[in-house]
Structure 1
Amino acid sequence: MNRNQLFSLAESWFASQNWTPFPFQKDTWTAFLQGRNGLLNAPTGSGKTYALWVPIILDYLKKAEGKKHKSGLKAIWITPLRALSVEIKQAAERLIEGLEVPFEVAIRSGDTSVSERAKQLKKMPDLLITTPESLQLLLATKGYENILKDCSAIVVDEWHELLGTKRGVQMELALSRMKTVCKNLRIWGISATIGNLEQARQVLLGPDSEAYHNSVLVKAVLHKKINVQSIIPEKMESYPWRGHMGFHLIGEVAKIIKESRTTLIFTNVRSACELWYQRLLDYEPDFAGEIAMHHGSIDRDVRIWVENAIRDEKLKAVVCTSSLDLGVDFAPVETIIQIGGPKGVARFMQRAGRSNHKPGKESLIYFLATHAIELVEASALKKAVEKSVVEDRIPYLNSWDVLVQYCNTLAVSDGFFPDDIFNEVKTTFCYQAMDRDHWQWILNFITKGSQSLQAYDEYKKVEIEADGRYKINKKSIATHHRMQIGTIVGDAVMQVKFMSGGFIGSIEEWFISKLKPGDVFQFAGKQLELYRVKNMQVLVKKASRKPTRFASWMGGRLALSAQMSELLRQELYGANHGKKSPELAAMEPIFKRQRKESIVPESTEFLIETFKTREGYHAIFYPFEGRFVHEALASLLAYRISLLEPITFSLAYNDYGFELLSDKEIDMQSVIDNDLFSTSYVHHDLQKSLNATEMARRKFRDIAVIAGLVFTGYPGKIVKAKHLQSSSQLLFEVFRDYEPDNLLLQQAYRETFEHQLEEGRLIQALERIQSQAIVWKACEKPTPFSFPIITDRLREKLSSESLAERIAKMTASYMKGI
């Protein structure tokens, strides 16, 4: 069959579904059938799944014409989320049935039973849908080359989600091996819009590889209209604060739910998801049975039930987190509500795309600000959506921990020859700068346990065979390694289970450690009484008493992306000029009050406010650069001021600014004149100001787990977080004291500065501040801009009820005389 005949087959099938192929789908089919690799850039809900399933099937029909069907693996589809697997499988099966192709489609993930996986290894399906981790487990299987050799295509879905993570690095390494094992392999990525698409293609295919030079970037020219509406309260608070999470607008949310077929309500963190679900039920008891909750810690069976109930239109609303961000197709969803700033344009557009998830349909998303200044974020997001401004995803470089794990993976299966693997790994983006010395260090590490651990046999995992092959022969080491494959390292989680049987979900160990038997807490929408903790299981029973606390998770808060920070600043600077958006117009009472107490800064100005309260002397700085940059910047400036005079500060920060609070007044003009915002010695001063060693020690824990230096435990017998921490700390101290050039130790420091403290962004922020006129305002009292920062610090100390009372008193006090 020639290409026209093949296209005619596909178009006939599309017509039978009442569809017409988009130009981008046909462009992808053409490039694939020409034997090319590529990256497909298409928005959510545009039909990108069929852009690649179709040519994979057509390519088979072309090659198999007149031949008997031969079973075996033809293509692999990688998805970062297990939840998407079923949908991708259904799409493939619909096409196979329509084109009458004798293909078997199967899923292989952590949810696949052991017996099913064993069956697959004996007879692989024609099309396999799997995750990055399960693909690594395939590479850890004896005879994997024979299993994979006939695979002619691999599709990496949602590539933008993997890029800039260690799972993405894991994928780069797997692809480097598959290029050698699978002859005539075509590699395709699918990505929603990101800023650095060309770099995304380089990372996927290898920057200077043959695969990259024989590749295309296919862009879908589809303008999906996104209607963004802000939920603006009738009465604006003069002093906005952070503690109430927007609950004063719950009536508006209930109204939107009633008027829509199905609504997804996105919160940024799981604890907010729990709270909003409960508050909605309290506000509107009739919602019982019509609304549900979905986040990553709820039991898998419950999550699947919720997903199916959305598809079947059995639910009016679902309160969720990023667990429903990606690719799941829920046709009945009409409306999205975003609670609080999503902190990034791409995340906001991704969530908006869940609404009317069909080509050509308009998406509707409401933005609910949790405090008034977040309305500036809403206004900025509207402009970003109009101009399609989205973030870059910054890829990792030299992730030695992932490379150590990968080498052990290959050693567990059939072993590897170092020169072959070195040449493959060098073609990846992550390890393009790796030299022979680095590689020799990695080989020494897996065979001898590195220079400082040579005396301990447990770290000598890999043996060198007579033929020069590197192999793991000990069964216990192989078992431990297979159980720990992956790069997602979280705090130890414990299964929550009813005493009568039945799992509810999983919760972090640190939260449960704060409870004692008899305490009542709310989790997964249920009031639960803690009975006891046994074998990393939390045994509970239903409680009739009101809960004293809601389940919460560590590390939940997101920070503004660099692009979002820039948009936010431009929007704020524009508040002093010209035509205002509805959001900025609604904020005019706050801007008016801010101008009375201080100023609303221009683009050429950098604002510092100082005032005194009974807590002490406050100095507030407003870089509008996001929480992580402010955390580092606050420590840096506090350190520099302390060099001029002995002084102690307590620090607070949010996405808009940060506070230095002290019991003595700073001579602000004097410290500004002493090069306070200099970009010189930033790295040195950061190391001195923050406990960089302590932060690197925490970062090293994750690196040690990924590299297999510490074992996280068997299913149901997970090693406690404090034990993991103490094991990894011990190794950290050994490397720091006896082997300072250890690559994993150096990586811990590098990741601390590059990823956690965002040192590059911090330096750019200082450069910008140096180009602005510094406006220092000595204020009488806290200003509207400063209020959310002050109350953020209080929130760390007080419960939500006592915080609300405290805020009300503060507001009343500051409003006196107005």
Structure 2
Amino acid sequence: MNKKDLFHIADAWFHQQSWKPFPFQKQVWNSFLQGRNGLLNAPTGSGKTYALWIPIVLDYIRNNPDYKTKPKKGVLAIWVTPLKALSVEIKYAAERFVEELGVPLTIGIRTGDTSQKERASQKKSLPNLLITTPESLQLLLASKGYDKKLHSLAAMVTDEWHELLGSKRGVQMELALTRIKTLAPNLRIWGISATIGNLEQAREVLLGPDSEAHKNSVLIKANINKKITVKSIIPKKMEIFPWRGHLGLHLLEDVIPIIKNSKTTLIFTNTRSQCEIWFQKILDKHPELAGDMAMHHGSINKETRLWVENAIRNATLKAVVCTSSLDLGVDFAPVETIVQIGGPKGVARFLQRAGRSGHQPGKESVIYFLPTHAMELIEASALQKAVKLQKVEDRMPYLNSYDVLVQYLTTLAVSDGFYPDEIYQEVVGTFCYQALSLDQFGWILNFLTLGSQSLQAYDEYQKVEIEADGRFKINNRATAMRHRLQIGTIVSDAVLAVKYLKGGFIGTVEEGFISKLKQGDVFTFAGRNLELFRIRNMQVLVKKSNQRSSIVPSWMGGRMSLSSEMSQLLRQELYGVGAMLNSNDKPLSMEAKGENVIKEVDIKIKVSRELRALMPIFKRQVKESIVPDAKQLLIETFKTREGYHNIFYPFEGRSVHEAMGSLLAYRISLLVPITFSIAFNDYGFELLSDQELDMQQVLDNDLLSTNFLKSDLEKSLNATEMARRKFRDIAVIAGLVFTGYPNKLIKSKHLQSSSQLLFSVFKDYEPDNLLLQQAYTETFEHQLEEGRLQLALERISNQTIVWKACIKPTPFSFPIITDRLREKLSSEKLADRIKRMLENLEKK
């Protein structure tokens, strides 16, 4: 059957669905049938699954003319997805196509949710299309005879590649792909990506730099202008001194009409605790929505999550409050509207969430932005611009992740073993390990067989044996079983199952949260108030409570930082306002500036609706200080009963401000004996002291210089302690510490103490240990974002520093001050304290 006939089959099927294939879909079909690899970049909801599943089936039909009468055994294609929730959607789409065409191909899912019965069946014979996750793919490589199972593989598809790139899960995929390329001579590798800036590099990472696969590849972009409409919910009364104590709940009533006027609405929050609170508060104030509203996040049990997903598909729910658990590719056609609570902190995340509505070709996506405090309207204005310009973040790939390589080589040793010379050539063909030297690879082999230089006396670290023919193999069954249980690169706090006393699994919470509670405490989880009865065998036993007040669980990652792209867009918006306010040629008094210039701005300059709504805040800011423009770095100082406040406004995001604040505090301490407490948010950071700081001395000594950055940063933040904490994750991934068996997980504090002991041993006796060096590298490059800090300081060096000695807190400083207070006060006490502060500021 020639290509024209094959295309006719696909076109006819599309016609039956009353669809028409997009040009990008036909481009992918053509390239795949020509035997090429590639990366497809297309917006969410544009038919990416059919772009790749259809040519896989057409290629099968071409190679098997008797396909209808002779079903094929063995795996034909593997489809890797980063989220288990996506696997059901992909299976549904794939089954629909082959069943309606009468092609007898089998389709199966292998994830952490797959039943033991299904796994046993797959062990005997893999389905023709296996839908799996990066971790389950590694488990396949850990099974005996995996090479024979994968020999006939025709396609590897990595879905949502932008989600994997820039993480160690992406490194896992690089290694798996380079192994499978060797085993399957007819393999074609494809990636699917929606929102990403560095597409060319993404293709290079997927296929391997300088590889034959990369040379024989294409980058296909879908030329589809997905219409995204962003609508900001602007408070009727603007807070002149904004603070973030209420999670946006003061605008809850503005969300209700949106819910009632839409078929289905997804309400996205940034954290699981915020998700729980919003769900509960909506039901408290609008009980009529009970039964029409649900909640979805990663810690809720699988059955509930699947029920919610099906209810959205069937349009039986009016609203779902959710987190990033519903960010990716699930096709929810009934969803009309999205509400984003608070700044999403990244353009890509915002676009991804917007794409959940109108999740069909040609449909408009509508997303409402609800600010949790007034200043987030600047982010809303910046996002409007980003949507128009289609500006999204780059995802930076990892380099030299030795812990993932150790885990991967152990995986190969568990299955059929490996020959180092052969595997080294494959490994250096990946983007992550392209610079791996033979000496470094030799160190890793010694680590696997001897336990590294300082652990040679301990048998438990000598996992791999070298057989007579030079094969590296694990023959100990207990070692192999422990390794299989621990495959993966996602390391988090130990999670405990939440169950009712009389049975019934509700979900999971992190050990760090539950360890702070005592028997009888009430907490909100999965939309219910639960009383803690006791903790036993990694299970939290609870009973329902009618108590009104409760604690909301907190999960790791609750405070995200602005991405570099988002912070740049935010600065552009804010500096634009500053330029307008500073554009008047005649020198005006502060009072006059506050009154006159803003009136001129309103009349003469086209300002976004969001920035126009913030004019009362800018007016007050100008009265007390200034709104900086692109040429200025603003520093404000003032005194309150708490002490002397020194606030800097680089507008670079939390993570950079944390590092910059610590760096500056350390450098100041070298000049004068002074101690600070540091607070920071996405807009700036504060150094608070009980004695006055000579700011002129700080400016004269150029303390925001990039000179000696790394050494000063290391001293200022106690980088050794940060690397020690980072090493825990590396030790778990590399298999140095064992996390425990199912239902008998080792407590995180024990994991921490074990990894800290190893860290100390390596630091004192083996400083050239590659895993130890990796801990420091990751601390600087990923946690502290040293490169981004360097660029920020270089930008500041070209700005004029404007120091304003203020009499009292300004609107810009208020969110930073209140954020610090939250760490010390309960929510009730915080609200009372802020209320008094606001009254005093207004009186003054």
Whether the TM-score (by the shorter chain) exceeds 0.5 is: yes
Matched with 1:534 is 536
- CA-CA distance at 1:71 after TM superposition: 1.3
TM-superposed CA distance for 1:356, in Å, is 1.1
CA contact (8 A) 2:75 2:129 kept: yes
Instruction: Tell me which residue corresponds to 1:687.
Output: 714
Match of 2:770 in 1: 743
Counterpart residue number, 1:363:
365
Counterpart of 2:592 in structure 1 is none
2:838 alignment counterpart: 811
Contact 2:259 2:265 in 1 (8 A): yes
- In the other structure, the counterpart of 1:460 is 462
Shift of 1:193: 2.5
- 1:634-678 Cα distance to aligned partner (Å, 9 max, x none): 000000111000000000000000000000011101111101111
Instruction: Pick the aligned partner of 2:576 from 557, 566, 574.
Output: 574
**Paired letter, 2:330:** V
Verify: 1:755 aligned to 2:785, yes or no.
no
Q: 2:53, 2:94 within 8 Å by CA — same for their partners in 1?
A: yes
3-state secondary structure, aligned to 2:49 = helix
| Counterpart residue type for residue 833 of structure 2 | R
Quote the residue 1:148 is aligned against. 150
CA distance in 2, matches of 1:773, 1:450: 52
Matched, 1:400 2:402: yes
Q: CA deviation at 1:802?
A: 1.3
CA distance in 1, matches of 2:31, 2:823: 55
Q: Distance in 2 between matches of 1:243 and 1:72?
A: 56
Residue 784 (structure 1) aligned to one of 811, 816, 819:
811
Look up the match of 1:727: 754
Equivalent of 2:555 in 553, 556, 562 = 553
Q: Distance in 2 between matches of 1:182 and 1:546?
A: 60
Q: Distance in 2 between matches of 1:193 and 1:306?
A: 26
Q: C-alpha separation between the residues in 1 aligned to 2:759 and 2:170?
A: 26
> Partner of 2:37 in structure 1?
37
Q: Which amino acid aligns with 1:584?
A: L
The one-letter code matched in structure 2 to 1:17 is Q
Aligned to 1:298: 300
* 8 Å contact kept, 2:645–2:687: yes
Alignment map for 1:711-722 (pairs within 5 Å)? 711-722=738-749
- TM-score (norm: length of structure 2): 0.96
Summarize deviations over 1:669-725 as a string: whole Å, max 9, x none.
Answer: 111110111100000100110010111011000000000000000000010010000
Distance 1:438 1:154 in 2: 30
- 5+ residue gaps, structure 2, are 581-604
8 A Cα contact 2:407 2:735, kept in partner = yes
Residue 352 (structure 2) pairs with residue 325 (structure 1): no
Cα distance, 1:478 vs. partner? 0.2
What is the aligned counterpart of 2:95 among 87, 93, 96? 93
For the 8 Å contact 1:121–1:147, the answer to whether it is kept is: no
2:616 is aligned with 1:586: no
Residues in 1 aligned to 2:386 and 2:547: alpha-carbon distance in whole angstroms: 46
Q: Verify the 8 A CA contact 1:520 1:546 in the aligned structure 2.
A: no
| Aligned equivalent of 2:728 | 701
> Which residue does the alignment assign to 1:225?
227
Structure 1: 5+ residue stretches without partners: none
CA offset at residue 115 of structure 1?
A: 2.3
Aligned to 2:587: none
Distance in 2 (alpha carbons) for counterparts of 1:548 and 1:95 = 49
Q: Distance in 2 between matches of 1:641 and 1:77?
A: 54
Paired residue secondary structure (1:608): strand
The answer on whether the counterparts of 2:705 and 2:793 sit within 8 Å (CA) in structure 1 is yes
**Secondary structure of 2:205's match?**
helix
Report the equivalent of 2:585.
Answer: none
The residue that corresponds to 1:340 in the other structure is 342
Maintained 8 Å contact 1:651/1:659: yes
Supply the AA of the counterpart residue of 1:553: W
Residue 632 of structure 1 contacts residue 686 of structure 1 at CA under 8 Å; is this kept in 2?
Answer: yes
Corresponding residue number in structure 1 for 2:583: none
Q: C-alpha offsets along residues 146-189 of structure 1, whole Å, 9 cap, x if unaligned?
A: 11111110100000000000000000000000000111100000
Partner SS, residue 538 of structure 1 = strand
- Aligned partner of 1:382: which letter? Q
Q: Please state if 1:670 is matched with 2:700.
A: no
Deviation at 1:66, TM superposition (A): 4.2
Matched, 1:436 2:463: no
Indicate yes or no: 2:652 matched with 1:625.
yes
Name which of structure 1's ranges 554-563 and 63-72 shifts more when overlaid on structure 2.
Answer: 63-72
CA distance in 1, matches of 2:99, 2:181: 30
Quote the residue 2:546 is aligned against: 544
- Once the two structures are TM-superposed, the CA of residue 556 in structure 1 deviates from its matched residue by 1.6
Match of 2:632 in 1: 605
For 1:774, the equivalent position in structure 2 comes to 801
C-alpha distance in 1 between matches for 2:66 and 2:508: 53
Q: Take 1:70 and 1:87, find their aligned partners in 2: how far apart are those partners?
A: 24
- Superposition deviation, residue 548 in structure 1: 2.9
Report 1:59-458 matches (<5 A): 59-66=59-66, 68-458=70-460
SS in 2 for 1:550: coil
Residue 650 (structure 1) aligns with = 677
Rate the CA distance shift 1:544–1:66 in 2: closer, same or farther, 3 A.
closer
Number of residue pairs aligned between Structure 1 and Structure 2: 817
The separation in 1 between residues aligned to 2:90 and 2:767, in whole angstroms, is 47
Aligned to 1:797: 824
What secondary structure sits across from 1:549 in the alignment? coil
Deviates more, 1:407-416 or 1:293-302: 293-302
Partner Cα distance (1:273, 1:27) in 2: 41
| Alignment partners' CA distance in 2, 1:270 and 1:798 | 21
1:50 is aligned to 50
| Separation in 1, partners of 2:235, 2:244 | 16
Q: Bigger shift: 667-676 or 546-555?
A: 546-555
Over 6 Å off, 4+ runs:
none
